Structure 1
Amino acid sequence: MTEIIDLSQEIYEGMPVFKSLPQVKMEIHNTHEEWSDEINPTTKTPAVYKLELGEHTGTHVDAINHMAKEHVGKSIDTMPLSMFYTEGICLDFSHKDFRELITSEDVKKELGKENLTIKAGDTVLIYTDHYRKAFNTENWGNGPGITAECCRWLGNQKIAAFGVETMSPGVPKISNKEVHYICGEMGFTHYENMINLYQLIGRGRFRFIALPLKIRGGTGSPVRAVAIFNE
């Protein structure tokens, strides 16, 4: 039996976005009443919405060209689909407090607890329970994050990506910029704003899928991330 766990936030007008990124706007572009040529309709039933949003909205993946200026041309549409269709593991860092750092030693400790190893090509998901603790509150931007040292260690394991529940992979003004630079330098990526990671803890390996939109020249893309368990 196949179990599919949704790891992606809803996208809606007014949702939290990181710092100066574009706010999400939604409006009805066409209605069924218009298409049916109804005269003086009393309802407006959406047939098509017009969306305005940034590439880095909700649960999304960063392209390599987002990481630093020198990676121009390494856009989301050029990244191999194999980066977004991988095996995955999820590690428990729910004990970490706001703005607390996660080191490679922390990762190794959790791997030992779960009797897991990181394989080349894996996606490593980092569960902090920050979504359930703080989404859409004053602390939403204050989540835990990995250190630059941890990011480089993960890159040396030849992972495809890692994923976090927070709006940034590192702690802003402490490690976040450097984490992005290291991802670009080492050629792997990360997902932000993930949900439901608590449902993956203690369950071992799973199939991870998070395909991006094929945006020409894009610096990232929203994804519908899922974990799949086959029993």
Structure 2
Amino acid sequence: MTEIIDLSQEIYSGMPVFNGLPEVQICIHATHEQWDKIPNPTTTTPSVYKLELGEHTGTHVDALNHMGRPFVGQSIDTMPLSMFYTEGICLDLSHKNLKELIEPAEIEEACEKANVDIRKGDTVLLYTDHYRKHYGTANWKNGPGISTATARLLGETEISAFGVETMSPGVPNVSNKEVHHICGELGFTHYENMVNLYQLVDRGRFRFIALPLKIRGGTGSPVRAVAVFEGNG
């Protein structure tokens, strides 16, 4: 039996976004009552919503052109779909505290503990339990993140991407900008704002799927990220 685990946040008006990015606004654009030309309707049944949001809203992937000026032209619509349809592993880093850096030795220890290895083309998900602990609180923006050394370790392993529960892959004002640059330099990407990673810990390998929208020239895209486990039942 196939098990599919949803790794994506809901998108809704007023949801948390990274500092300075567009706020999310969702409103009714049309109703069935309007389409059916019902006079003086007593109900409002949405038929179309209008969405106003940035590319980097909720669970999303960054395009390589988001990583820095040297990577112009490498937009989300130019990136191969194989980057978003990969094998995946999830590493338990739930011991990390607010604003702490995840270092290479901790990645290696987590791999040993889970009895998995990082392979070329993988998506590596980093479980910190930050979402369940801090989503919607003042500390949501203060999550742990990877160090530049860890970013380089992952990139040199030639992974497709890594994913985090936090709003940024590195710690803002500590490693975040540099982590983005390393992703661009080494040609891999990352997902942010993931959920339900606790359901993947100690379960070995799975199929990871998170296809982006085909936004012309886009610097990223919301995704519906899932982990797929193929069983024998």
> Shorter-chain TM-score: what band?
over 0.9
Partner of 1:21: 21
Which residue in 2 is equivalent to 1:96? 96
Separation in 1, partners of 2:98, 2:121: 30
Is 1:71 aligned with 2:71?
yes
**Map of 1:115 onto structure 2:** 115
Q: Which residue of 1 aligns with 2:146?
A: 146
- Matched with 1:178 is 178
- In structure 2, what is the Cα distance between the partners aligned to 1:109 and 1:183? 22
Q: Name the counterpart of 1:192.
A: 192
How many angstroms apart in 2 are the aligned matches of 1:121 and 1:215? 23
Q: What is residue 30 of structure 2 aligned with on the other side?
A: 30
Q: Which runs of 4+ in 1 moved over 6 A?
A: none
Shift of 1:164: 0.1
Structure 2: distance between partners of 1:100 and 1:177: 16
Specify the code of the residue in structure 2 equivalent to 1:117: D
Write out aligned runs for 1:153-168 (5 A): 153-168=153-168
Cα distance in structure 1, aligned partners of 2:164 and 2:105: 18
1:193 partner letter: N
Superposition deviation, residue 44 in structure 1: 1.1
* Shift, 1:136, TM fit: 1.0
Offset at residue 115 of structure 1 (A):
1.0
In 1, distance between residues paired with 2:168 and 2:218? 18
Q: Deviations over 1:47-67 (max 9, x none)?
A: 000000000000000000000
Amino acid at match of 2:143: G
Listed one character per residue, the Cα deviations across residues 125-169 of structure 1 (whole Å, up to 9, x for unaligned) are 000000000001000000000000000000011100000000000
What amino acid is the match of 1:93? L
The aligned amino acid for 2:190 is H
Q: Please tell me the residue identity of whatever aligns with 2:140.
A: W
Instruction: Give, in angstroms, the shift of residue 46 of structure 1.
Output: 0.4
- What corresponds to 1:225 in structure 2? 225
- RMSD of Structure 2 on Structure 1 (CA): 0.4
Question: 3-state SS of the aligned residue for 1:214?
Answer: coil
Cα distance in 1 for residues equivalent to 2:110 and 2:27: 45
What code does the residue aligned with 1:23 have? E
Q: TM-score, normalised by structure 1?
A: 1.00
CA shift, 1:41, in A, is 0.3
Matched, 1:59 2:89: no
The Cα of 1:173 is off from its aligned counterpart by 0.5
How many residue pairs were aligned? Answer: 231
> Aligned ranges for residues 42-57 of structure 1 at < 5 Å?
42-57=42-57
Stretches of structure 2 that go unaligned for 5 or more consecutive residues are none
What residue number does 1:6 align with? 6
Aligned-residue identity in percent = 71
Distance in 2 (alpha carbons) for counterparts of 1:132 and 1:175: 23
- Structure 2 CA distance, aligned partners of 1:117 and 1:13? 39
Is 1:203 aligned to 2:209, yes or no? no
- State the shift of 1:43 in Å: 1.2
Matches within 5 A, 1:76-87: 76-87=76-87
Task: Report how far residue 112 of structure 1 moved.
Answer: 0.6
Question: Matches of 1:208 and 1:36 in 2, distance apart?
Answer: 42
Unpaired segments ≥5 residues, structure 1: none
